[in-house]
Chains A and B, each alone.
Chain A
Amino acid sequence: MKTILTGNHAVAYAVKLSRVKVVSAYPITPQTTIVEKIAEMIAKGEMDAEFVNVESEHSALSVVYGSALAGLRSFTATSSHGLLYMYEMCWWVSNSRLPLVMAVVTRTIGPPWNIHTDHTDLMTLRDSGWIIAMAENAQEALDLTIQSFKISESLNLPFAVGLDAFVVSHTAEVVDVPDQETVDEFLPERKQAYRVDPNDVFAVGNIADNLETMRMRREMALDMEKAKGVIDEVGREFGEIFGRRYGLVEEYMVDDAEYIVVMTGAWSGDAKEAVDILRKRGIQIGLLKLRYIRPFPREVIERFDDRKILVVDRSFSMGHRGTLGIEVGNVVDCKNVVAGLCGVDVGFEDFKEMFERFVRGELGEVEWWI
């Protein structure tokens, strides 16, 4: 059914449709309306789940760590400082190989206080063993959330669904909400490698042999590599059932492109319009949207090593370059523009000018778009 939903409400409906059983979260702008909506649906009896109120994000993730460990499909959501406050538990979840889904509404990290979008918070999860995806709009936020449970549960790796503060989280737009039967057909019962059971006592994460622990990390790394295939396969299957195909990346006019722009998140839509404008002038430019940051779509990027590449970043690694600039630059040569940090608006007019300067060869190695 096509209706109007904010990105946050789209996530909330996806959580309901995915038959999540336990939700725990602590309010933080701009995430709050996700769990507000879920709490409302549970209170009205529209959703059969337990909502656990807690006093902090560290506790929120601890609660769903426990419920996921016990075998229940679980969900939490946070932003910015909330994510940083639960950071320790993020690693407990991933290193315990627990399937779990968290929405991260990307928000600037203070000080000074700022509630607007910036991807730096989400990027702090890169090394932790979470699968990280980024939605372009409310529809993708809903679709990725439904897929995330299937992907997470088939790999025993937790999954973070990112969506830009306000630009997606609070923008009301057209979303096609699938019906419960179709989601049930797509999403099987939860599975996981192990679960705690009072009748079968064991300890999780007790001290173990160093070499065995390192072997465990290698297996996790291999499973992350395997995730690439799983993500594409689940995205293809989702496309067959719901008519919207997903995968590690979205390729927009890249096949014949001499110039390729790489980016992630909501502003990719504005960038596609700028690509259209330059294309009309005969400039062969295309856009590669990274829908996933982890696992990193290295093989896709390698395919374009004979093109001129520009990476547009909404996050920055102090002392180096834009975060994606580092990541993509590790695979192919690229220029890097750092833009839109701290919620600075960047629209298609800005991208048009940025891409024109890129094509004219006027951009330095790292440019701050201020």
Chain B
Amino acid sequence: MEWLKTLISRPSKGVSGKTGYWRTFKPIYDRDKCVLCYECYVYCPENCVEIVEKVVKIDYDFCKGCGICSEVCPANAIEMVKED
């Protein structure tokens, strides 16, 4: 029953490798502007925004730089900056 391993898959972090290198623009977070509304956390399609002790943490290993977090932020606390 080797086929079972191919047929079913369990959610795990980065099964396709570290997708962070796909990024052109990088989200930069400004703690001072942040109102802790959690919009970025809710909307991130890659589930790589976490809020730890009232601070937004972005997992740059997996963030593809789509910019949705920056788009939905009502306080303009996330700026998309071109990577070097």
What is A's interface to B at a CB cutoff of 8 Å? 96-97, 156, 193-194, 201-206, 208-209, 212-213, 215-216, 219-220
B interface SS class: mixed
Q: Are A193 and B1 in contact (CB under 8 A)?
A: yes
Q: Are B6 and A202 in contact (CB under 8 A)?
A: no
A64–B15 Cα distance when bound, in Å, is: 31
Q: Which residues in A have their C-beta under 8 angstroms from that of B9?
A: 202-203, 206, 208
Q: Are A205 and B7 in contact (CB under 8 A)?
A: yes
Q: Are B4 and A194 in contact (CB under 8 A)?
A: yes
Q: A193-B1, A203-B11, A206-B8 are in contact. List 12 more A-B contacts (CB 8 A).
A: A96-B7, A97-B3, A156-B1, A194-B7, A202-B9, A203-B8, A204-B8, A205-B7, A209-B6, A212-B5, A216-B2, A219-B2
Is B82 located at the chain interface by the 8 A CB criterion? no
Task: Give, as a whole number of angstroms, the nearest-CB distance from A215 to chain B.
Answer: 7
Q: Are B6 and A213 in contact (CB under 8 A)?
A: yes
Say which size band chain B's interface belongs to.
10 to 19
Is B13 located at the chain interface by the 8 A CB criterion? no
Task: Give, as a whole number of angstroms, the nearest-CB distance from A152 to chain B.
Answer: 16
What is B's interface to A at a CB cutoff of 8 Å? 1-11
Q: Are B10 and A208 in contact (CB under 8 A)?
A: no
Give 13 CB contacts A-B under 8 Å: A97-B3, A193-B1, A194-B4, A194-B7, A201-B11, A202-B10, A203-B9, A204-B8, A212-B6, A215-B3, A215-B6, A216-B2, A216-B3
A194–B11 Cα distance when bound, in Å, is: 17
Q: Are A208 and B4 in contact (CB under 8 A)?
A: no
- Given contacts A193-B1, A215-B2, are A97 and B10 in contact (CB under 8 A)? no
Task: Give, as a whole number of angstroms, the nearest-CB distance from B26 to chain A.
Answer: 28
Q: Which residues in B have their C-beta under 8 angstroms from that of A194?
A: 4, 7-8
A209–B3 Cα distance when bound, in Å, is: 12
Q: Which residues in A have their C-beta under 8 angstroms from that of B2?
A: 215-216, 219
Task: Give, as a whole number of angstroms, the nearest-CB distance from A197 to chain B.
Answer: 11
Q: Which residues in B have their C-beta under 8 angstroms from that of A206?
A: 8-9
A209–B10 Cα distance when bound, in Å, is: 15
A215–B2 Cα distance when bound, in Å, is: 9
Q: Are A219 and B3 in contact (CB under 8 A)?
A: yes
Q: Which residues in B have their C-beta under 8 angstroms from that of A216?
A: 2-3, 6-7
Residue of B with least CB distance to A203: B9
Q: Which residues in B have their C-beta under 8 angstroms from that of A212?
A: 5-6
Q: Which residues in A have their C-beta under 8 angstroms from that of B11?
A: 201-203
Q: Which residues in A have their C-beta under 8 angstroms from that of B5?
A: 212
Task: Give, as a whole number of angstroms, the nearest-CB distance from A154 to chain B.
Answer: 12
Q: Which residues in B have their C-beta under 8 angstroms from that of A219?
A: 1-3
Q: Which residues in B have their C-beta under 8 angstroms from that of A201?
A: 10-11
A220–B58 Cα distance when bound, in Å, is: 43
Listed residue (B1, B7, B9) with the most chain A CB atoms within 10 angstroms of its CB = B7
A216–B8 Cα distance when bound, in Å, is: 12
Task: Give, as a whole number of angstroms, the nearest-CB distance from A167 to chain B.
Answer: 38
Q: Which residues in A have their C-beta under 8 angstroms from that of B8?
A: 194, 202-204, 206
Task: Give, as a whole number of angstroms, the nearest-CB distance from B11 to chain A.
Answer: 6
Task: Give, as a whole number of angstroms, the nearest-CB distance from B38 to chain A.
Answer: 23
Task: Give, as a whole number of angstroms, the nearest-CB distance from A150 to chain B.
Answer: 18
Residue of B with least CB distance to A211: B6
Q: Which residues in A have their C-beta under 8 angstroms from that of B4?
A: 97, 193-194
Q: Which residues in B have their C-beta under 8 angstroms from that of A96?
A: 7
Task: Give, as a whole number of angstroms, the nearest-CB distance from B5 to chain A.
Answer: 8
Task: Give, as a whole number of angstroms, the nearest-CB distance from A198 to chain B.
Answer: 14
Q: Which residues in A have their C-beta under 8 angstroms from that of B6?
A: 208-209, 212-213, 215-216
A96–B8 Cα distance when bound, in Å, is: 9
A96–B11 Cα distance when bound, in Å, is: 18
Q: Are B7 and A220 in contact (CB under 8 A)?
A: no
